[in-house]
Amino acid sequence: MRELAQAIDVFLYPLGLLAVFGLLFFTERLIFLHKGRIQPKRFVRGIENLLKASRYEEALSVCEQTPCAVARLTRAALLHRSEPPLVLKDILRQHALLELPMLRKRIESLHMMGQIAPLIGLIGTVFFLLKGFWRLGELQAYTYLTSVAPLFVSALAVTLVGLSERLLFTIAYHFLNGRVRLLIFDLEWTAGEWLLFFQKTTCVKKEEATATSED
């Protein structure tokens, strides 16, 4: 490992910084997305039970104390529960769209760093190859290859490191995107459940009001 670090010379610093920041971004996003995902079906059913028991304030309090996208969307549904279905649908869609930037934060940065790493490796390869051929031009016609071999090794090593980082960044990017897609699915399911729940509640109230007026 020390030999590899010595081989890539000055290009160790930009590639090393990319690796450090990439690891920090990936770890932060992984923890955030893990904490932000709950079992939406259990959560929604619990809130529905509170509403059926006329414990509206407690339901709101549970949503506010649960730090996740599903809870925030549920809170928005509760606050606008008296709106017509189409209006409520638009409101929930807008709240879901507001969650997306928070969910995807720094993920695109990982993708960008994955594109930069191999470019740095390519620049390093060209640099060391030019340096090697320049040295060959300065030496006599008959010389040992060992005098320029370290430069060619460095040229290959810096490309190896750049491509390796590209691979790791790509894996991290797609893994986090998969987690985000799961959260988006949870949001879509939650919005649909609340639309259906409040539509049923409205229908029940209308039926009760009709039955009361007939009596």
Nearest-angstrom CA–CA distance, 207 and 161: 69
Which amino acid appears at position 78 of this protein?
L
pLDDT higher for 203 or 9? 9
Going from N- to C-terminal start, the domains of the chain cover 10-116+165-210
Distance of alpha carbon 9 from alpha carbon 6, whole angstroms: 5
Q: Are 154 and 138 spatial neighbours (Cβ–Cβ below 8 Å)?
A: no
Distance of CA 144 to the CA centre of its chain: 52
pLDDT at 140: 60
What confidence tens digit (pLDDT) does each residue in 113-172 have?
999 999 988 888 888 888 777 777 666 655 566 666 777 777 888 888 889 999 999 999
Contacting residues for 165 by C-beta, under 8 A, at least 6 apart? 15, 18, 19, 22, 113, 114, 117, 118
Mean pLDDT score of the chain, rounded to an integer? 83
- CA-nearest of 31, 38, 29, 93 to 62 is 38
Left if phi > 0, otherwise alpha if psi is -120 to 50, otherwise beta: which for 54? left
More reliable by pLDDT, 28 or 204:
28
pLDDT number for residue 137:
67
Q: Look up the pTM and report it.
A: 0.79
Handedness of CA 26, 32, 38, 44 (dihedral sign): negative
User: What pLDDT, on a 0 to 100 scale, did the predictor assign at position 207?
Assistant: 52
d(CA 133, CA 49): 76
- pLDDT single digits (tens) 57-95: 998 999 888 888 899 999 998 988 888 888 888 999 999
> Residue 134 contacts by C-beta under 8 Å, 6 or more apart in sequence?
none
